[in-house]
Amino acid sequence: MRVETRNTKQSLAFETGMLARQANASILAIQGDSRVLVTVTVSKEERKGIDFLPLVVDYQEMSFAVGRIPGGFIKREGRPSDQEILTARFIDRPIRPLIPKGFFNEIQIIATVLSGDPSNNPDVMAINAASAALHISEVPFKGPLAGVRVGFIDGSFVINPPLDHQDGSDMDIIVVGTEDAIVMVEGEAKELPEDTVVRALDFAHSEIKKICQAQDELREKAGKEKMPFHAYGPDDAMYEKVKAFAGEKLEQIMLGAYAKQDRHARTDALRAETLEHFADDAEDISLGVNACFSQLEKEIVRALVLGKGRRVDGRNVDEIRPI
C-alpha cells in the first residue's frame, strides 16, 4: 500500500505491507534517495501499577545507509550517537501527548535509516513515518502529526533544504504539528524579526497539513481497529480535596526563590504528605491522589505565569536570572 504527498520541494511517500509485517504497524518513508523504516509494536496487556505511558523510541542511522562499514576492529553498529539520541527524543516529544491518558500498554517505536542522501535529512522523515505508523496501528492516537524543516535562504522560506544549503540559511527550525495546530518547534535562527518567525511557522503548517492528509488517506486504506482502554484522569471530588489540602502550600513552593533541586525536594515532600493524608480516601493511592497532585501542580504553574506573570522560582516573566 502506498500514498504520496507533494510539497514545494519533492514528494514524500509512505509504504506499508511489504517490510516488518510481524510488527503491529510499519511504514517505509521515501523521499528522494532516502529511506526510513519505522515499526510500531505494542503489548496486548496493559502494564499494571503505573500512571505514565511506557513508550520507548529508538532512532538508528545505520552505516550501510551511506555505503560505509564501521571502522576499527569491531565492525558491528555501536552505541547510539548523540545525534541519534536527540532525534529519538525529538520523535518522542510530539507523539507522547497525543496518546490518550489511560493507555498503559508498552509501546516501542524503532526508526531505522536504510538509505540516506544529502538532499533529504532522515530525521524529519522519521517523525512523519512514526506518526503514519501509529496512525494505522492499533495504538489509540490523536494524530496524525507531521514535521518539516524550514530554512530562510536569500529572503525566501525553503521547506526541507538540502544539507549543503543549510549553512547559508538564516533559520533552521523543525516544526511539528497536526492539521489543527503546531505542537512543537525546535531549532535556531540568526536574530530574525519576530514576524518572520511567525510567517515561517504559518508556512510550515501549510505543508504539515498536506502530509497529515496523506496519512489520513493511508489509514483509510490500511488502518487497524484501535485497542480499547480505560480513560484515566483525576477524580473531580478527590481533586478538590487535594487542592484544599495542598494548593496553598504548593503555590508557595512554586513562588519561592529555591534552586531547582531544592524545589523538587520540597514538592516531593508535599506530595508524600498529601499521599499519607489521603491514604484512607483513595483505593489506589499511586494513581488517584498522585494524578490529582500532578494536575494541581500544572494548573498552579500555568495560573502563576498567565495570571500573575510569575515563574516557578519567583521571577517575573521578563526578569533574567543573574549569572
The one-letter amino acid at 60: Q
pLDDT at 286 > cutoff 60? no
Q: What are phi and psi of 105, to 5 degrees?
A: -75, 140
The residues of the chain that CATH labels 3.30.230.70 are 2-222
H or E element in which residue 96 lies = none
Q: Which one is predicted more confidently, 185 or 231?
A: 185
Q: What is the pLDDT of residue 134?
A: 97
Residue in the structure block whose three cell numbers are 533552521 = 172
pLDDT at 44 > cutoff 90? yes
* Band of residue 148 on the pLDDT scale cut at 50, 70, 90: very high
Q: What is the pLDDT of residue 102?
A: 82
Q: What is the pLDDT of residue 318?
A: 85
Q: What is the pLDDT of residue 74?
A: 64
CATH topology of domain 236-308: Arc Repressor Mutant, subunit A (1.10.10)
Q: What are phi and psi of 260, to 5 degrees?
A: -55, -45
Q: What is the pLDDT of residue 281?
A: 58
Strand partners, 111: 38, 59
What is the average pLDDT across 122-139? 96
The edge-to-edge listing of strands for the beta sheet with 34-46 is 2-6, 11-15, 25-31, 34-46, 105-115, 55-61
Task: With CA atoms as reference, report the closest residue to 223 among 13, 4, 16.
Answer: 16
Q: What is the pLDDT of residue 312?
A: 82
* Band of residue 313 on the pLDDT scale cut at 50, 70, 90: confident
Taking CA atoms, 259 is separated from 256, 266, 296, 312, in Å, by: 9, 11, 21, 10
CA pair distance 313, 323, nearest whole angstrom: 15
142 with 161: CB under 8 angstroms?
no
User: Across the chain, how many H-helices and E-strands are there?
Assistant: 7, 10
pLDDT at 89 > cutoff 90? yes
* Band of residue 284 on the pLDDT scale cut at 50, 70, 90: low
Q: What is the pLDDT of residue 142?
A: 93
Task: With CA atoms as reference, report the closest residue to 25 among 153, 137, 164.
Answer: 137
The residues of the chain that CATH labels 1.10.10.400 are 236-308
Mean pLDDT comparison of 75-89, 133-147, 166-180, highest-scoring range: 133-147
Task: With CA atoms as reference, report the closest residue to 221 among 10, 22, 12, 25.
Answer: 25
163 with 151: CB under 8 angstroms?
no
* Band of residue 225 on the pLDDT scale cut at 50, 70, 90: very high
pLDDT at 256 > cutoff 90? no
Q: What is the CATH code of the structural domain delimited by 2-222?
A: 3.30.230.70
Mean pLDDT computed over every residue of the chain: 88
243 Cβ contact list (under 8 Å, min separation 6): 292, 296
Give the pTM: 0.81
Q: Which one is predicted more confidently, 57 or 49?
A: 57
- Judged by average pLDDT, the poorest of 26-30, 50-54, 302-306 is 50-54
CA pair distance 27, 14, nearest whole angstrom: 6
